[in-house]
Amino acid sequence: MRPVSGFERPVLQWLFIALGIVLIAVAAAEGIALKRARAETATLRAADQHARIEIDKLSAEAARERAARESFSLQLARQRGAASPVTQPTLTLSPLTKRAAQPPEPTVARPPDHQTIQLRLLLPGRTESPNANYSIVIRSWTGGDTVWSRSGLTMTTVDNKRMVTALITGDVFAPGAYEVALTRIVAGSSPADVASYEVAIRP
């Protein structure tokens, strides 16, 4: 093998040795940085998962507290009704044909937090199964966050109008716009979307 001309010089030999050391140091630093990045990513994922679990716990606790308040308000209304007739306020919503690009104008006054309200969702004109169960989900119009839900509801008729009703309390509706989703559940089939509704609460 023919030697490389000039490589026998000590200066060049030390230069190549220095370059090799620099490359090894750079590779080691990159490896350490990659290891730290992976550790930080794993830590962030664990923290995110823990935060999601805490949010789910808080949401479930809030739902239980809201259900307890609704039950208490209903019992209180019944006790008052035994002494004197009480007219229960209602909120009747019609199904949307198309979701608008902007939230609806606030047209409903904000009810008291402990006021029991009968939410009435008018059903579309098409025929619905009389044996179906329904679920209602109320979400904020802009963020889509669920603020209230109820399932196991049935269809009823009021003033010759078919609807699904549910009792809610006023604290569900803070000032703002909301969208309401109605889903039909029939035994032996997948849940199906029935209609969407909108409502906006004045401050």
Q: So where are the chain's domains?
A: 1-86, 90-201
Q: Which residues pair with 201 in a beta bridge?
A: 108, 176
Q: Residue 11 gets which letter from DSSP?
A: H
The residue among 10 and 96 whose pLDDT is bigger is 96
The residue among 104 and 99 whose pLDDT is bigger is 104
Contact 41, 49 (CB under 8 A): no
Nearest CA-CA partner of 116 in 181, 55, 167: 167
By percentage, how much of the chain surpasses pLDDT 70? 74
Q: Beta-strand (E) ranges in the chain?
A: 90-93, 116-122, 133-140, 146-153, 155-158, 161-169, 176-185, 192-201
Pick the range with the lowest mean pLDDT from 47-51, 73-77, 101-105, 152-156: 73-77
pLDDT of 185 above 80: yes
List strands edge to edge, sheet with 146-153.
146-153, 133-140, 176-185, 192-201
By percentage, how much of the chain surpasses pLDDT 90? 30
Task: Name 15's Cβ contacts closer than 8 Å, sequence gap at least 6.
Answer: none
* CA pair distance 162, 118, nearest whole angstrom: 15
pLDDT given for residue 159 in this prediction: 87
Torsion angle of C-alpha atoms 39, 41, 46, 49, degrees rounded to 10 = -170
Pick the range with the lowest mean pLDDT from 10-24, 68-82, 123-137, 150-164: 68-82
* CA pair distance 198, 122, nearest whole angstrom: 12
pLDDT given for residue 84 in this prediction: 45
85 falls in which pLDDT band (50, 70, 90)?
Answer: very low
pLDDT given for residue 121 in this prediction: 95
Summary mean pLDDT of the chain: 80
Q: What sign does the dihedral 150-152-153-155 (CA atoms) show?
A: positive
Are β-strands 116-122 and 161-169 bridged in parallel, bridged antiparallel, or unpaired?
Answer: antiparallel
The residue among 74 and 103 whose pLDDT is bigger is 103
pLDDT given for residue 23 in this prediction: 77
Predicted confidence (pLDDT) per residue in 19-77, tens digit: 778 778 777 777 787 888 888 888 888 777 777 777 767 666 666 666 666 666 666 65
pLDDT given for residue 182 in this prediction: 94
Per CATH, domain 90-201 is 3.40.50: no
95 falls in which pLDDT band (50, 70, 90)?
Answer: very high
Task: Name 172's Cβ contacts closer than 8 Å, sequence gap at least 6.
Answer: 66, 138, 147, 148
